[in-house]
Amino acid sequence: MPYKTFGFSQEQVMMRDSVLGTLNRVLPEAKILELEADSAYPAEAFQALAEAGWLALPFEERYGGAAASNKDLAVFIEALGYHHAGITSAFMTTVIYGGLHLQFHGADWMKRELLPKVIGGKLRMAVGYSEPSGGSDAAAILTRAKRDGDDYVISGQKVFITNAHVADYLVITAKTDPGAGHKGLSLFLLDTKLPGVTIRNLNPMGRRTSLPNEVFLDEVRVPASHLVGEENRGWPLLMRGLNMERMLLAAASAGQMMKIIEIAKDWATQRKAFGQTITEFQAISHKFADMAMMTETARLHTYSVADRLDAGEDPVLETAIAKTVATEYNMIVADLGVQIMGGAGYMDGRMSQLYRDARVGPIGGGSSEIMRTVIAKRMGVI
């Protein structure tokens, strides 16, 4: 990864190199393609990250965590994104989306009993927000949770829930006050083994090693002690971690762009046509220049936001920009990678996988359309 380090500390460089060394050992290129073909979760690689202590990064030291900075996390996620999107999603769903919900909002027993298991790789998590009725519109959520004695009875359906099929627990949204719009939303910690929970794999275009799922909830009795935060206070809890999440999605996309350039360059510098290496043609060399410009632009946005978060700022506009720029540029860079490799890029293989993996970036974690609305609102345009 011969790229600018944006003032990385020696420890951050060592972390990046150590993570990549581990992943190269337990999740080599051939293994990635094998798992992709089988739509299989990268369990061995995930466990290797746990054993090396990397799942502890964002958590507080009192729970066994490392209290990493936002920049630490950006460096780490960029490295994961560079290696494989599936292992990035595996980390994000359990640690960032699931685990940090418990640390920020969970009851004391959740933090005490579950966070050490998350850190040790003994417990996997995912989050369930999106429904057939919509993803970004919290007011449109139809899943209901009704209090019944010491339990809540939850019924509804979730869709596009990444890694629900391998999760021990989901953090889900449900309406506890159906007439109050997003102000009637609550969060629950759902044991996936409870009666009435059915999880079914979906067949995605890309990222097939971290599958999306449908989750059906048929009068599932969830103990009231599994309410995350307060009843009807789910919406502000969902908003709390958005800056970090968007920054990390940008970092993952930046890492993937670096991998695309590497693969395309390795191929193009060996490929000859009309008596010369194809990189000697301006049409090809300029594609690489464009790819480099887009990658470094995405990285500039990502690390600028990480530094601002570490300084205690609330850069909502900037994180929305970073997420949008990085994920959309990732799609363009992937398309250029395929074009450079021609028929070889179009065939089933690593480049075509990266192309498919990139497509979900502007959709998941806040669509590009929603991001542009956030940006316009912060600008005072609307």
Please name the amino acid found at residue 49: L
| Beta-ladder partners of 131 | 134
Shared domain for 255 and 373, answered yes or no, is yes
User: Pick from 123, 140, 161: which residue ends a domain?
Assistant: 123
Domain boundary among 68, 88, 123: 123
Task: Identify whether the C-beta of residue 199 lies closer than 8 Å to the C-beta of residue 164.
Answer: yes
Could you read off the pLDDT of 202-260 as tens digits, one per residue?
999 999 999 999 999 999 999 999 999 999 999 999 998 999 999 999 999 999 999 99
Helix (H, G, I), strand (E, B) or coil at 348: coil
Does residue 2 sit within a domain?
no
Domain check: are 180 and 84 in the same one? no
Torsions phi, psi of 267, nearest 5? -75, -50
- Residues 263 and 157 placed together within one structural domain of the fold: no
What total number of domains does the chain contain? Answer: 3
pLDDT band at 139 (very low <50, low <70, confident <90, very high): confident
Domain identity same for 367 and 271: yes
Residue 213 is assigned to a structural domain of this protein: yes
Reported as a single tens digit per residue, the pLDDT across 80-94 is 999 999 999 999 999
- Tokens 């065939």 appear where? 347
- Rounded Cα–Cα distance for residues 54 and 354 (Å): 24
The answer to the question of residue 352 being in a domain is yes
pLDDT at res. 2: 54
pLDDT average, residue stretch 33-54:
98
Least confident of 32-46, 135-149, 168-182: 135-149
Q: State the pTM of this model.
A: 0.96
Residue 5 resides in a domain:
no
d(CA 328, CA 253): 9
Residue 351 has pLDDT above 60, yes or no: yes
> Amino acid letter at 364?
G
Q: Indicate the residue among 123, 157, 182 that finishes a domain.
A: 123
The region of weakest confidence among 16-25, 134-143, 367-376 is: 134-143
pLDDT digits (tens, 9 = 90+) for 66-76: 999 999 999 99
Are 283 and 259 part of one and the same domain? yes
What residue has token string 């794999």? 201
Q: Give residue-wise pLDDT tens across range 256-291.
A: 999 999 999 999 999 999 999 999 999 999 999 999
Same domain for 222 and 246: no
Residue 3: what pLDDT? 64
Which sequence positions are flagged as catalytic?
245
Averaged pLDDT score across all residues of the chain: 96
Provide the domain limits for residue 316: 241-379
Q: Which distant-in-sequence residues (6+ apart) come within 8 Å of 84 by Cβ?
A: 23, 27, 32, 42, 45, 209
Q: Is the domain of 357 the same as that of 245?
A: yes
Looking at residue 302, what is its pLDDT?
98
Residues 247 and 354 in one domain: yes
| pLDDT confidence band for 138 (50 / 70 / 90) | confident
Residue 270 lies inside a defined structural domain of this protein: yes
Same domain, 260 and 365: yes
Annotate 108-137 with DSSP letters as a single string: HHHHHHHHHHHHTTS--EEEE--BTTBSS-
Confidence of residue 340 (pLDDT cuts 50, 70, 90): very high
As a whole number, mean pLDDT of residues 297-309 equals: 98
Residue 355 sits in a domain whose CATH number is: 1.20.140.10
* CATH code of the domain covering residue 84: 1.10.540.10
Do 345 and 327 belong together in one domain?
Answer: yes
Whole-angstrom Cα distance, residue 376 to residue 323?
Answer: 15
Q: For the domain that residue 208 is a member of, what is the CATH number?
A: 2.40.110.10
Residue 3 lies in a domain: no
